Amino acid sequence: MPEQLMQQIVNGLLIGFMYALIAIGLTLIWGVMNIVNFAHGDFLMVGMFTSFWLYTLYGLDPLFSIPICTLLLFVMGLLIYRFIVSKVMAGPMLAQLVVTFGVSIFISNLAVYWWSPDFRLIAKPLLSGTWDISGVQLSIPKTVASIGSIVTSLFVFLFLKKTKTGKAILATEMDREAALLMGINTERINSLSFGMGAALVGIAGAFLSTYYYIYPQVGGVFGTIAFCVVALGGFGSISGAFIAGILVGLVQTLGGFFFDPSYKYAIVFMIYLITVWIRPQGLLGW
Amino acid sequence: MLSVNNISVGYKGLLALQDVSFHIDKGEVIGLIGSNGAGKSTILKTISGLMHPQKGEILLDGIPISQTPPYEIVKKKISMIPEGRRLFGRLSVLDNLLLGAYALDSKDEVEDALEDVFNSFPILRERKNQRADTFSGGEQQQLAIARGLMSRPSLLMLDEPSLGLMPKLVSEIFTIVREISEKGVTVLLVEQNVFEALHVSHRAYVLQTGRIVLEGKGEELIKSDLVRQAYLGM
């Protein structure tokens, strides 16, 4: 029993770190421009497929395609912001709400059209197998992905706190007009944040592709969970998203362990409802 | 230095300013007074680039700036301290100040600006690592002014700096305005505290419902019937 429980905690942490990384990108976009990026899960899918095709066509291991995924998704995010999202920023609330939804439907259907709805797997990734630590199984690709998530999150955190551009992002998030008066080109900050949010989920996609099924609708589950994570952590809060991601991972696996695995998502979404009900600003929100 | 020529500015069809003209010479302290909704803040927002006039133009040393975005205006050495301070509350005092210097390119310049405001506002040096939202109202206003000075402006615009402060602190704010002016910075001051504002101003303009109705030397305006009746309650 304790060993099994330990195993579930480890599993929860391993998936939680991925949720955290995905959610950080989402919360960054929300925080800066008050836009819910419904296409976030689809960005993840694009990251996973990029990694898959680089492996299948060129034999490049997912581990080495991380920089390519990051850059590609950054540029994709930037372009989607510039040519689609920015056009509705000054428009009515509803337009802002549905624009990323449209992008989401477009991307996922394009993926079905190009690549078929099949499930795929990267056959022989460099990272595979498990470590056995006194009875607890530690999947190597998941562990490496978790370390990647921690390092990336830390990097984002330090970037925002320590660099001039990072502080400009935070300032824009807190008070756009005041940021303009400081000399910050907030439109540029929007593009950058959208690109960064997409790049972060691209990194997550590359890591996830080492051990998870790759299919056009894969973003649905992860995207929805990322919303729960962001809501739980507090909209716009990076550290909140990180902690909430781990919490949701733990709740999901432990909930599955103590009740029934088929309830695991129900329990996660219940947490979301409870958050909205009791503490709508989230754990670390303001 | 700055001349505002016949500008009309509106929000969604409603004109907040109609055919407003005035000028500011280098080294002056100019007061803009008037009641709520007269358009004082709109003037500052238009100069700082947050709003753009539908008619008329604004010239800075002869160059039109009325279509320039706000983040470029700061580089032209015009700085605005918005009403209600608008600090970045969750950031430290130091970060707020550094953001104030965002438009400066060289590190040395930032260091110099920081040293200057720390000398003028010693409390900011002592508490530079504290979060801005933990400050009291008076301290926050000092920080807001200091942040506005970090871009080393030649024209500083203040929107209601004394708003919401207790009387003792109000006179302190006006002392600070006087000191800033003595250092050679031109000041455009929007105030509801008419008496104090006119005392500190070389010249002032009186706004009513989007138009300038009176102009004169600060001390003269204090004696004028319109100002005495409408704003000083005498």
Shortest CA gap A91–chain B (Å): 14
Shortest CA gap B44–chain A (Å): 11
B180: pLDDT strictly greater than 70: yes
CA distance A33 to A186: 10
Domain span at residue B139 reads 2-230
Give, as one character, the DSSP assignment of residue B27. Answer: T
Buried-exposed string A147-163: b where 16+ CB fall within 10 A, e elsewhere:
ebbeebbeebeeebeee
**How is residue A191 written in tokens?**
């593009």
By the CB < 8 Å criterion, does B74 face chain A? Answer: yes
CA distance A224 to A40: 9
A42: pLDDT strictly greater than 90: yes
**CB of A282 closer than 8 Å to CB of A232:** yes
Name the pLDDT band for B225 (thresholds 50, 70, 90). Answer: confident
A51: pLDDT strictly greater than 70: yes
**CB of B23 closer than 8 Å to CB of B60:** no
pLDDT of residue A66: 95
pLDDT of residue B89: 94
Name the pLDDT band for B146 (thresholds 50, 70, 90). Answer: very high
One-letter amino acid at B71 equals: Y
User: Which range among A4-8, A131-135, A242-246, B223-227 has the greatest average pLDDT?
Assistant: A242-246
Average pLDDT over residues A43-64: 94
Residue A182 to residue B80, Cβ atoms within 8 A: no
pLDDT of residue A249: 95
pLDDT of residue A265: 86
- From chain A, pick out residues whose CB is under 8 angstroms from the CB of B100: 182
Q: Mean pLDDT score of chain A, rounded to an integer?
A: 92
Residue B98 to residue A167, Cβ atoms within 8 A: yes
Average pLDDT over residues B38-59: 94
User: Which of A101, A132, A116, A146 has its CA nearest to residue A214?
Assistant: A116
Q: Which residue of A has its CA nearest to B157?
A: A181
**CB of B100 closer than 8 Å to CB of B148:** yes
CB-nearest to A180 from B71, B87, B90 is: B71
Give, as one character, the DSSP assignment of residue A191. Answer: H
pLDDT of residue A122: 87
Q: Which residue of A has its CA nearest to B46?
A: A181
Of the ranges A33-47, A59-73, A202-216, B205-219, which one carries the lowest mean pLDDT score?
A: B205-219
Q: Mean pLDDT score of chain B, rounded to an integer?
A: 92
Which CATH number is associated with domain A2-278? 1.10.3470
pLDDT of residue B234: 63
By the CB < 8 Å criterion, does B69 face chain A? Answer: yes
Shortest CA gap B152–chain A (Å): 11
Q: Which residue has better confidence, B216 or B147?
A: B147
**How is residue A15 written in tokens?**
């998936």
Residue A174 to residue B88, Cβ atoms within 8 A: yes
Domain CATH number, residue B22 = 3.40.50.300
pLDDT of residue A9: 93
pLDDT of residue A184: 97
Of the ranges A44-53, A195-204, B29-38, which one carries the lowest mean pLDDT score?
A: B29-38
A45: pLDDT strictly greater than 80: yes
Q: Which ipTM was obtained for this model? A: 0.93
Average pLDDT over residues B125-144: 93
Average pLDDT over residues A106-115: 95
**How is residue A107 written in tokens?**
């991307």
CB-nearest to B90 from A174, A177, A186 is: A174
CA distance A233 to A273: 13
Element (DSSP H or E) covering residue A187 = helix A186-208
Query: Tens digits of per-residue pLDDT, B1-35?
Result: 999 999 999 887 788 999 999 999 999 999 999 88
By the CB < 8 Å criterion, does B41 face chain A? Answer: no
By the CB < 8 Å criterion, does B79 face chain A? Answer: yes
Percent of chain A's residues with pLDDT above 70: 99
Shortest CA gap B216–chain A (Å): 29
Query: Tens digits of per-residue pLDDT, B80-129?
Result: 999 999 999 999 999 999 999 999 999 999 999 999 999 999 999 999 99
- From chain B, pick out residues whose CB is under 8 angstroms from the CB of A182: 71, 74, 99-100, 102-103, 147, 151
Residue A183 to residue B98, Cβ atoms within 8 A: no
Number of domains in chain B: 1
pLDDT of residue A92: 86
- From chain B, pick out residues whose CB is under 8 angstroms from the CB of A186: 71
